[in-house]
Each structure stands twice: as C-alpha cells, then as structure tokens.
Amino acid sequence: MAAKIYINGKMYDKADAKISVYDHGLLYGDGVFEGLRIYGGKVFKLKEHVRRLYSSARAIKLEIPMSQGQVAEAVEMTVKANEKRDGYIRLIVTRGAGYLGLDPRKSTNPQVIIIVDDITLYPPELYENGIEIVTVSTIRNHPAALSPRIKSLNYLNNILAQMEAVQSGCFEALMLNHKGEVSEGTADNFFLVKDGVVRTPPIDAGILEGITRDTVIELAKSAKIEVQEIALTRFDVFAADECFLTGTAAEVVPVVKCDGRVIGTGKPGPITKQLREQFYSLARS
C-alpha cells in the first residue's frame, strides 16, 4: 500500500505530497516538529507530544491553524490510513509559503504535515551490547541565542555534531554546552548511573525536555531508584558505572564506551537493562 501523507486536512500519496518551494520551513527552517512512535497501532504519549509541539510553536510565534485536539485526531487518522501497527510519525508545522525574506509576516498559511513511516536508528544487536559515543567539538546552541527547548526544523547544530560522530566511527555524539557541561546527544537525552543513582543533565544545561526522558525518570522513581537532574562533566561520564541514551526513535540504548574509555564493565548495566525493559513493556502495553 502506498504511504499516505497528511497535509492540511487532506491525504496524499507519497509521490504527490508536496509543499511550495517558497515555504519558509524550507527556506529558513522556520517551523516546528515532533517525532512520535506507534506501538501496536497506538500512538505513544500523543497528548504530551502535541502539547510540546504547541509550546515550541508559541515560542516562535507560530499560530497552528488547528486545536490540539484536532491535531491529535489528524495524527490518529493518518496512522489508520497507513494501516501502521508499529512505526514512526513525523508531525511538522511550517510557517508556510510566502515571499523571500526573513520577515514571518511574508508568510500567512502554516502547513500541518503528518508522515507515518518506519525508522531505525541503531541495529538490534546494539541494544544488547551497547554503543560507543564520542564527545564532539560542536556544542549545543547557546540557550540565550536559541532555546534548545524549541524543537525547530533547523537541526543544523545536531547534524554537524552527527557528522563528527560518523567521522569518528560512532553512531551518536555527546554534545557539551557553552559551559563545557554534558548536554545531550544529537537526537537523544543522556543518562548515567553512579553508585545506584541515575543522573541526567537538567533542563538549564541546554537540552530538549524529552518525552522519553521524562518517562524513564518516572519509571526509575516508581522503581525506587534515586534520580538526580544535575550538571555533569566528562569526568562524570568516564567514571560512571553505566550510561544510556533515551529518545523517541532510540527508546533506551546502552552506552558502553565514550571517547575510547570503557564505561563500567563495558557491558550494559543492570539499571540500564531494568529501565529499558520497563520502558519496553510500558510502550507496548
């Protein structure tokens, strides 16, 4: 069956799904998006993702021409139209087509686009064996310049970091903030475990407040595992007993080496395994 793409209330075959080359989302990265997962035909944390989409939109003064409820219904309708039981959703809102020039007033017709497809970030064996990451020179955008909490269409900062990771033979990068503290990966939030305590950078470290991140924090607290949202350095990473990444596409993936240093035993740790299994069960329940 040909993939169906939602654009402003209508379904189009993949080959026919088009937007204007004058769309400011294309010209300037002026827009916002969310990535969601489908498990067993159900959209995971749909309300939370839609709420974050609207927060990002408000932060850039982008008026979405639908209510949150209507957007959620459109997402579910697109999933149903594609008969997708397990997969990935890209929910996009662009500033819309207009004229050349940065002024957002030159564009007045925001485009709401929903794509339902498959995504695979890491080979299955890496969830069992763990991945290696590398600290890159590309730092996260300074929060005073562009808030990392805005999930915008301009991902050049992340792409440049990902390029460095690939050049180093790694799947993912560890990005630092302007203070030299650990921030996040190019597409994932970062966690470490030390002496049985789960630690992750706080929001003011210049990170996106991930939906999967929040879910894993809740799971850890429910399991009586202490969680600290505190500033972390590369030393903390190298000295950690366990490390893992979280993200909508990645879910929970263990990290067993960083910058050539083996983390803990060099294998996924017990708390990482526990939280990964709990998330897996929750998402598919």
Domains of the chain: 4-117 (3.30.470.10), 124-283 (3.20.10.10)
Residue 26 pLDDT exceeds 80 = yes
Residue 1 pLDDT exceeds 90 = no
pLDDT in tens, 104-162: 988 889 999 999 999 887 889 999 999 999 999 999 999 889 999 999 999 999 999 99
**Dist CA 89 CA 74 (whole Å):** 12
* The predicted structure's pLDDT at residue 121: 76
* The predicted structure's pLDDT at residue 59: 96
Tell me which residues are annotated as active site.
151
pLDDT in tens, 42-85: 999 999 999 999 999 999 999 999 999 999 999 999 999 999 99
* The predicted structure's pLDDT at residue 108: 84
Sorting pLDDT into bands at 50, 70 and 90, what band is 2?
Answer: confident
* The predicted structure's pLDDT at residue 278: 97
Q: Say if residues 53 and 71 touch (Cβ distance below 8 Å).
A: yes
Residue 189 pLDDT exceeds 90 = yes
Q: What is the mean pLDDT of the chain?
A: 96
